Structures are given as C-alpha cells and as structure tokens.
Amino acid sequence: MKILVTAKRVTDPDMKIKVRSDGAGIETSSMSFKVNPFDEIAIEEALRIKEDKGGEVIVVGIGSDKAQTEIRYGLSMGADRGIHITAGSDPDSDAVARILVKIVEAESPDMVLLGKQAIDVDDNQVAQLLAEYLGWGQACFASKVSINDNTARVEREVDGGIEVVDMDLPGVISADLRLNEPRYPALPAIMKARKKEIKKMTPADLGVDTTSKVVITQLAEPPQRKGGRIVEDVAELVKALKEEALVI
C-alpha cells in the first residue's frame, strides 16, 4: 500500500508568538520550528499501516528550503522517501490542495493521510479541498483507522460521540489528536534519514498557480485580560455577572 503524507513546517506551539511591529505577520527571527503536530500524527498512522500491510510511505513538504528539515524528520520516523515543493512563501489552502492533486496524479497512492489542520493558520481546508478535486471519498478528524482490503473504516469524533464510516480506497483521511501517539526517532534512524531521497520540484513544474485566493492583511494580539475582583456574597456576584460582564 502506497501512502502519501504531509509534513508542514510550523512554529513551535510551545513558544510564545509575537506579532511584528507592522502587523504584517509574526516575528520568526527567534522562533523554533517543527512538524505540524497533526501531520506528525498522520505520519505515525501511515507508518503503522505500512508495518501492518506493507508498502511505501512518502512525505510531502511545501515551503522554503528550510522545509526539508521537517521532511527529514518524517523520514527519520520511518517514511521511505520525500518530496519537497519549494515555494518562497506558504501557499494558501487551495494552492496546497492543487499541488497535492498533481503529486497524487504522479504517484498514484492508495491513500492520502494529513493532519486535520495546521496549527499556524488553523484553516482545516486542505483535506476537504483535495478530496473534492480528486473526486475521492474522505474521512476527516479520524481517531481510529482500520484497513481491510480496499476499504478503510474510520472512527471520527463528533459532538454526540463516535461516528464510524467506511470508505473505499483510494481516499483522503485527516488525522485528529487522539488517533495515536507519534514515535520519537532514534539516533540510527535520524542518521539513516540523511541518505533517503528527497525529490525537489516547484509549483511551476507541476503547472500550479500559487497566487493566493486568501490574503492575511493584518495581525494583532488580543487585548490584555483585565484582572478580576473579589465579591462579598452571591448577590454581588450575580449583579456583577449581569451588569458588568453581561453574561447573564
């Protein structure tokens, strides 16, 4: 089974984000980066399927030359080879989906596994757009995946509990937080990953126009929260919630 997975380079979620003084983006000079956590979960699930069913796992990264670091991380986890689509700036969700369509057409995978969303922009659109453009079935927000011949059974968390869907392959699956716990690459695997193939291409090579349909024009930090105050009794609390906080 051939599985295509994504590895987006994002800012470390454990670090504090600072907005640039001009409001045009975030300050990245002092930031560290890592694989999008949901993509890391998708890579882990692809590797588990490969270990059970056999096949090949291909990691795709889209971005600057530095994005190779995250692709290498996926290779050190156990993926077989990588594809790097070099882009000067991060394409929007629609452009990413169209790039992945071209890679799918070239590679003919049995499944595309990707994180349900990237933690930097939180769009949660690529999986849905990709499935639509390919005309494939999709199962989003997967918390469990089982493969049986040419069918994938996916458990997904919904407001009322767990929804179970069966999907014919090839198809698109997006990984939710509780799908698995990603492995930590051992040093020998990290060294071995340095020798694995990463094929480099550009959107132009694929015939994809990456002109953004969505443009972020301004970023701003949320207003500072005001400190609370002590109330004397329940009656004063209720009055404050009603007249000051306007929540009741």
User: pLDDT by residue (tens digit) across 114-156?
Assistant: 999 998 888 889 999 999 999 999 999 999 999 998 999 999 9
- Please give the span between the terminal C-alpha atoms of the chain, in angstroms, as a whole number: 56
| 73, 43 Cβ separation under 8 angstroms | no
Kindly indicate the confidence band of residue 86, based on its pLDDT and cuts at 50, 70 and 90: very high
Model pLDDT for residues 193-209, shown as the tens digit of each residue? 999 999 999 999 999 99
* Matching residue, tokens 């609390």: 237
User: In 3-state terms, what secondary structure has residue 124?
Assistant: coil
State the pLDDT at residue 147: 95
Mean pLDDT for all residues in the chain: 91
Residue from 119, 141, 146, 109 nearest 128 by CA = 141
Whether the predicted pLDDT of 168 surpasses 80 = yes
The two structure tokens encoding residue 61: 């990264």
Question: Which of 101-105, 110-114, 224-228 has the lowest average pLDDT?
Answer: 224-228
Residue 140 backbone phi and psi in degrees, to 5:
-95, 155
Q: Residue 111 above 80 pLDDT?
A: yes
Residues counted in the chain: 248
The whole-number pLDDT of residue 157 equals 86
> Per residue, what are the HEC states of 196-215?
CCEEEECHHHHCCCCCCCCC
d(CA 44, CA 77): 8
Exposure string (b/e) for 64-103, b if CB count within 10 Å is 16 or more? eeebbebbbbbbbbbbbebbbbbbeebbbbbbbbbbbbbb
How far apart, in whole angstroms, are the C-alpha atoms of residue 204 and residue 206? 5
Give the integer Cα–Cα distance in Å for 57 and 4: 6
Model pLDDT, residue 90: 81
Domains and their CATH numbers in the chain: 2-223 (3.40.50.620)
